[in-house]
Chain A
Amino acid sequence: MTDISQSALLASQQAQSPIEYVRAAFLRIRAGDIGNLPIILGLVLIAIIFQSQNANFLTPRNIVNIVVQMAGIAVIAYGIVFVLLLGEIDLSAGYVSAVGGVLTAILLRDSLTNPALSWMDWWNVIPIALLVTAAIGALHGFLITTFQLPSFIVTLAGLLAWNGVVLIIVGDGGTVNIQNPVVRNLASEILPPEATWIVIIAFILLYALFEVSTMNTRLKAGLRAKPIAIIGLQLGVMVVAGLGIGALFNVNRALNASAIPQQGMPVIAVLLLIFLVVLGYVAERTRFGRYVYAVGGNKEAARRAGIRVERIRILVFMISGLMAGMGGIVLASRLKSVATDAGGGNLLLYVIAAAVIGGTSLFGGRGKVSSALIGALVVASVENGMGLLNVSSGIKFIVTGLVLLAAVIIDAVSRRSQQRSGIR
């Protein structure tokens, strides 16, 4: 009986054919792991709909606008993804981001007028603001774990309380302007065209290096590896997409030929990519990230495996606070000021919608850091497109709500199919 039985796993020791790989991918999809599939279809649909209604939608100028619009949402959503992976929620992210933005703005303003604060500059003010928002997140996590409270309630309290704090800090003036050039230009600065190419090529090379070295070590260890044909195909798609994006960013966007040329990739887009790589590494390659998934998947199993569940939860809320603070600074930079309404409106809804639309489950345990980026792109595209079409804000809310609803339904359905395939 051993010779029959061993065959299945011995087969796994051999190199995999592209057909087998595709079949395995299909199996994963059937098991409820649909990944980015629906979202890419959704993006194409959005592009077609808005482009057919308004020819400006897919112009380089507008696409750069969308990138700048999505930046703040994406940065905050990066943190929310970790919270959702635990199966928790952070409703305070909007106003915690405002705390980060307003602290940065106030400290930079006071450093100009108050001699005692003259040592302050962007490079120490930003870390201070991030430290404060990370501490706020840790406080939420501490309250949730110590008193065994639902995160929904604690962060709802946070939503109200931090809104109050922002109102008090901004004060009667109503608006705090940002003078510091670095913070002012964070959201609007663009790279020269040459640097744009370097960034894009470096990103693709990094990806290629990672994939090929992974394949090599796996083959050397006698394990099943991604077939070279599939890697080649993926890289090919990436190169084509990269060339397209680079060319698009490097088109002169100035409205008339005599103006200073406007071309190149927004610096904020590079920042988004850096966060994607760093946080993606943390989530998928480290023990910490593995424990986040484990706690979200089966808290009791994680506890019995010796994982300190409460510590993981506190750290995740800290990450959420940290990324909210960073997003708040990006949003402040985009407006070049912080007003009393910072962090309000539909920011929180957009952020959570971005993470969920991108494919991170509200039920915990499933999702990726990249879903924040791709989801924010959808949210910003829809908002931008409706802005171009001059629809009323009532319609805007309805459409955004429907997009979120669609994402949650896809999430729930894929979860059900996962459970069904589990029972079989």
Chain B
Amino acid sequence: MAGHPLLETRGVTKRFGAVQALTKVDFNVHAGEVVALVGDNGAGKSTLIKGIAGIYGFDEGETYFDGKKVTIHSPREASKLGIEVVYQDLALADNLDVVANMFLGREWNQYVARTEHAEVPIGNPVIRYLRNLLPMTEVEMEKRAVNTLNELAVTTLRSVRLPVASLSGGQRQSVAIAKAVLWNSRVLILDEPTAALGVAQTRQVLDLVRRLADKQLAVVVISHNLHDIFEVADRIAVLRLGHMVKTFVAKETDQKEVVHAITAGKLEVVPGMAPAHGMAAPLQGLA
């Protein structure tokens, strides 16, 4: 990969009380690249992405976005940078249609349209709230939603006006991803996108993930399914007990090697760490 990574963490550490969830983790993803984040339960995958998404801050270490050092305090700030996370539960409202779900919380209306889709929080709060009673511009929203879905070649949707309840698992995952992409996001983090999907649906979603990278998005995929990961990922980052034990280039490795790293990866691989020190770290936290 040429150039600097789009998103990078350097030496991030996170403690929950006595538990050392992450220890000096270096992680990065470039634009146009799919990086799989793998590891056993409790390895720190969720902790890492939640920190990146601004759900909580890291205790130590730095985050760089597009080469600049950033501190992300909230999911909203992450969205503003262009970092979107699609969680495993997708967070779709079943009773609303595809367009309504994709725009949920950021619907366009006459006011937003006039201010070029950027809300300026000025004026009396009551008046500001009354803007929520202006008519929504459904046609513009639908057009944008259809365009985004077309760009991603989401194929099987019959209509964008069907309630999400009537969609299949793969279609829901596609809608959730399209929802995240709608806002010109640059980094997309997918949490177990193929869990609970059938063979055909999984294929559909993996193709979609690949297309996202082709559109120069930086994609991070968390998954337990090594088969899927080898299909879609360029690099595979392995976390173990809160340490980044190894990053593989997918083409130069195999499942056996990755499994070995997940279950028995050497913790001293982490730069600056003495052998077995990592195991002792939680105990130090208690002292």
The reply to whether A9 and B166 form a contact with Cβ atoms under 8 Å apart is: no
* Interchain CB contact under 8 A, B158 and A218: no
Q: Which residue of B lies closest to A419 (CB)?
A: B165
Tell me the minimal C-beta distance from A19 to chain B in angstroms: 14
Residues on the B chain within 8 Å of A304, using CB:
75, 91
Q: Is A24 an interface residue (CB 8 A)?
A: yes
Q: Most A CB atoms within 10 A — which of B133, B154, B168?
A: B133
The main secondary structure of chain A at its interface with chain B is helix
Contacts of A24 in B (CB 8 A): 158-159
Judge if B77 is at the interface, Cβ distance under 8 Å: no
A223 contacts which of B92, B132, B142, B166 (Cβ < 8 Å)? B142
Q: Are B94 and A421 in contact (CB under 8 A)?
A: no
Q: Is the CB of A27 within 8 A of B139?
A: no
A28 / chain B contacts, CB cutoff of 8 Å? 162-163, 166
Say which residue of A1, A286, A296, A305 sits within 8 Å of B105 (CB atoms): A305
Q: Does A306 lie at the interface of the complex (its beta carbon under 8 Å from any beta carbon of B)? A: yes
Assess whether A294 is interfacial by the CB under 8 Å rule.
yes
Q: Is A150 an interface residue (CB 8 A)?
A: no
Give every chain B residue within 8 A of A301 (Cβ-Cβ): 91-93, 101, 104
Q: How many Å lie between the Cα of A9 and that of B144 in the bound state?
A: 13
| Contact between chains at B166 and A221 (CB < 8 Å) | no
Residues of B within 8 A of A120 (CB): none
Q: What residues of B have a CB within 8 angstroms of the CB of A366 in the complex?
A: 95
User: Does B94 lie within 8 Å of A293, measured CB to CB?
Assistant: no
B residues near A296, Cβ cutoff 8 Å: 95
Q: Which B residues are CB-close (under 8 A) to A424? A: 168
Within 8 Å by CB of B107, from A5, A10, A27, A287, lies: A287
B139–A217 touching, CB < 8 Å: yes
Most buried by B among A5, A31, A287, A419: A287
**Minimum C-beta distance from A148 to chain B (A):** 21
Contact of A287 among B136, B154, B166 (CB under 8 A): B136
Evaluate contact between A297 and B95: CB separation under 8 angstroms.
yes
| Cβ-based interface call for A233 (8 A) | no
Closest to B131 in A: A287
Contacts of B143 in A (CB 8 A): 221-223
- Determine the chain A residues whose CB is within 8 A of the CB of B146 once the complex forms: 9, 12-13, 223
B25 within 8 A of A: no
| A298 x B139 contact (CB < 8 A) | no
A282 touches B94 (CB 8 A): no
Contact B105 A302 (CB under 8 A): yes
Q: Using A286-B132, A287-B132 as known contacts, say yes or no to A365 and B93 having CB atoms under 8 A apart.
A: yes
Instruction: From known contacts A6-B153, A32-B165, A288-B132, infer whether A12 and B104 are also in contact, taking CB-CB under 8 Å.
Output: no
Are B133 and A288 within 8 A (Cβ)? yes
Complex-state Cα separation, A194 to B167, whole angstroms: 50
CB of B136 within 8 A of CB of A12, answer: no
Residues of A within 8 A of B140 (CB): 221
Interface flag for B155 (CB, 8 Å): yes
Question: 1/0 contact trace for A134-152 toward B, CB 8 Å?
Answer: 0000000000000000000
Q: Complex: how many Å from CA A300 to CA B105?
A: 12
Question: Which residues B102-121 have CB closer than 8 A to chain A?
Answer: 104-107, 109
> Which B residues lie within 8 Å of A257 (CB)?
none
Flag whether B150 is at the interface (Cβ < 8 A): yes
Instruction: Mark out the residues of chain B between 54 and 87 whose CB falls within 8 Å of any chain A CB in the assembled complex.
Output: 75-76
Partner of B158, one of A8, A222, A223, A286: A8
* CB-CB nearest in chain A for B85: A304
Name the interface residues of B147-171: CB closer than 8 Å to any CB of A.
Answer: 149-150, 153-168
Contacts of B101 in A (CB 8 A): 301
Given A302-B104, A302-B105, A424-B168: A9 touches B149 (CB 8 Å cut-off): yes
Given known pairs A290-B107, A307-B104, the reply for A285 and B155 (CB within 8 Å) is: no
**Other contacts beyond A9-B157, A418-B165: 6, CB < 8 A:** A8-B156, A8-B158, A12-B146, A218-B139, A221-B139, A421-B165
Residue numbers of B with Cβ under 8 A of A are 75-76, 89, 91-96, 100-101, 104-107, 109, 132-136, 139-140, 142-143, 146, 149-150, 153-168
A-B contact pairs, 28 of them (CB 8 A): A1-B153, A2-B153, A9-B149, A12-B146, A24-B158, A223-B139, A223-B146, A285-B135, A286-B134, A286-B136, A288-B133, A290-B100, A290-B136, A291-B132, A293-B100, A297-B95, A298-B91, A298-B93, A302-B93, A305-B91, A305-B105, A306-B76, A307-B104, A307-B105, A365-B93, A418-B163, A421-B166, A422-B164
Residues of A within 8 A of B (CB): 1-2, 4-10, 12-13, 24, 27-28, 31-33, 217-218, 221-224, 281-282, 285-288, 290-291, 293-294, 296-298, 300-302, 304-307, 365-366, 418-419, 421-422, 424
